[in-house]
Structure 1
Amino acid sequence: MSTEISKPVSCPRCGEAVETRMWPGVNAEVNPNLREQVLQETLFNWTCPACGYVAQMAYPCLYHDKGRKFMIYLIPNGGKTELDAVDVDHAFPQIGYVQKRVVSSLAELKEKILVFEAGLDDRAVELVKLALASVVEKKDGQKPQEGYFSFADEEKNRIGFVFFFPGKPEAVLKTTRLDAYRRSQEIVEELHPDQKGFAAVDPELAQELLDTYREED
């Protein structure tokens, strides 16, 4: 079951205290409507009824999909270090079989959901994203500022990512062969056994894996 709380939030513009509904725990199976709001990027939207100020209010949230066996802990502007003091798998052996990730932004939360729902290994996805971003930079002459997984199509043998460039508000979709993902999966399975507890699987990890692979090659 999802966890709902209500607490007052002061408007940054007018100072009005607004009683605000929050979801520190989201169960995707029990409340699919909350899943949809996360993917539509509306769950964390906040509007001040007094002055109309609109903001995206991120707060710690544990997203759980029991059927697909994954949990994602959103810690805005934080990261895995805040969870290091807790041996999650030892303290809660009943979730030892679940893939657990920690993210620091709403965009990363959405991306992880899409990756796991597609049945993909997020470590391999990050490697493909890193490689494709390098290709895009060489071809277009501009380094992507951010990139996120978009889709995987087995029938068409394509995997796609959206990239954002400095000074350009619109995302650009770039794709490559799904074979690149399969090769990346072989690499991560060889170099990086999946971690216990809530792990950060991000571009920094992908770069570390790529560097290690090049050293050993």
Structure 2
Amino acid sequence: MLIKRTFNILCNKCKSRYSVPRLMLASTHLDDELPKAIKSGQFFKCTCPKCGQIDRFSYPLLYLDTRYNALIQVLPDKVDATKDVFFDIMHSLEKECSSFKYVRLVQNYLELAEKITAFEQHRDDRIIELCKIYYRIVLKEKQPSFNTRHVYYYVTDKGQEAFSFSDDNGNVQRYLLNVDDYMGCYYYALDLDRRFSNEIKIDYEFANIYFSNFVDSLETDINYKQEAKMKVALDLFGPSKHSDELIDAGEQYNKAYSYMRDNQSLLIPHVFCAKCGAEIDENDRFCFNCGHPQHSM
């Protein structure tokens, strides 16, 4: 059963009020042109019968996208009794929700359009949100006076994914989505997931390739790191062939470091985060400690 509600709209131009009927549920199964209408804003358009002013407004809408097995609820902050309708719908679909691959809650039709765009571009919409944060920080570093008010993810007329940043004064800055930046955010998210997961699995067999019998220890203090470096040095160069004694450990380490520096598969250079000073891999897109982006655009 499709639930229809009537909304009282205040015209932004002539300030007159008029009523607009709207369906509370929309599905691509019933209308394959629905995603296009939502992304263009046509679906949420209303026209004042008195002055002809065209406005768009967000209202509680349950959107079902059968193409991607997604359920998205639009629930604006400022809604009244329509919240009860929303909870009634969600309660009736409680069992069905578990069968959806994606279940999302957004606040307006622009956020709904973003989710649809992300699915159509075969992007993880959660990573897109991380990309927003990343580009917002980069923009702030390049233009400190630009105070971002809204960020919008979309696809240009040329088919390029982009982010639009706007401030309270109507100024707009745009960034095209860089694949490397997207993947950087993706691996950052994976790294966070690993760090805070209670089910961390360690591949001892792989680790044993470089650290021999030293992989049983999980300590990360300075003494452990230094001892591990010495172990690598000994594994690479072994005892001196001219003496029964080992070559000085410091000299061994210097040789080992030089060797690994020339073989990048064995060594990833480290740098220090410009914000918190944490030691991180040179190729990391974000600092694992504070989240600060490490590469400018």
TM-score for both structures, normalised by structure 1: 0.69
- Could you tell me how far apart the structure 2 residues matched to 1:33 and 1:113 are? 12
Whichever residue aligns with residue 74 of structure 1, its letter is: V
Where does structure 1 lack aligned partners over 5 or more consecutive residues? Answer: 152-157, 194-212
- After TM superposition, give the deviation of residue 122 of structure 1 in Å: 2.2
Whichever residue aligns with residue 56 of structure 2, its letter is: Q
The corresponding residue for 1:138 is 141
The corresponding residue for 2:243 is none
- More strand per residue: 1
- Could you tell me how far apart the structure 1 residues matched to 2:31 and 2:168 are? 36
Match of 2:95 among 71, 93, 96: 93
SS state at 1:143 partner:
coil
- After TM superposition, give the deviation of residue 75 of structure 1 in Å: 0.7
- After TM superposition, give the deviation of residue 76 of structure 1 in Å: 1.4
Whichever residue aligns with residue 26 of structure 1, its letter is: A
The corresponding residue for 1:184 is 188
Counterpart check, 1:7 vs 2:6:
yes
The corresponding residue for 2:153 is 149
- Could you tell me how far apart the structure 2 residues matched to 1:94 and 1:43 are? 25
- Could you tell me how far apart the structure 2 residues matched to 1:119 and 1:188 are? 22
Whichever residue aligns with residue 115 of structure 1, its letter is: A
- After TM superposition, give the deviation of residue 7 of structure 1 in Å: 3.2
- Greater Cα shift, 113-122 or 97-106: 113-122
The corresponding residue for 1:22 is 22
CA contact (8 A) 2:72 2:105 kept: yes
1:192/1:25 CA distance change after superposition, 3 Å: farther
1:132/1:107 CA distance change after superposition, 3 Å: same
Deviations 1:108-154 (A, max 9, x none): 11111112232322222211210111011111232322212235xxx
- Could you tell me how far apart the structure 2 residues matched to 1:116 and 1:39 are? 12
- Greater Cα shift, 131-140 or 170-179: 170-179
Q: Which has the larger radius of gyration?
A: 2
1:192/1:15 CA distance change after superposition, 3 Å: farther
- Could you tell me how far apart the structure 2 residues matched to 1:48 and 1:162 are? 29
Identity %: 19
Whichever residue aligns with residue 187 of structure 2, its letter is: R
The corresponding residue for 1:128 is 131
- Greater Cα shift, 27-36 or 163-172: 163-172
Aligned pairs, number: 188
Whichever residue aligns with residue 160 of structure 1, its letter is: A
- After TM superposition, give the deviation of residue 105 of structure 1 in Å: 1.5
Whichever residue aligns with residue 165 of structure 2, its letter is: F
Q: Superposed, which structure 2 residues align to 1:194-209 within 5 Å?
A: none
CA contact (8 A) 1:70 1:116 kept: no
- After TM superposition, give the deviation of residue 17 of structure 1 in Å: 4.2
- After TM superposition, give the deviation of residue 60 of structure 1 in Å: 0.5
Q: CA RMSD in A?
A: 3.7
Match of 1:112 among 112, 115, 135: 115
The corresponding residue for 1:60 is 60
- After TM superposition, give the deviation of residue 33 of structure 1 in Å: 2.1
- After TM superposition, give the deviation of residue 56 of structure 1 in Å: 1.5
- After TM superposition, give the deviation of residue 161 of structure 1 in Å: 1.9
SS state at 1:39 partner:
helix
- Could you tell me how far apart the structure 2 residues matched to 1:189 and 1:15 are? 51
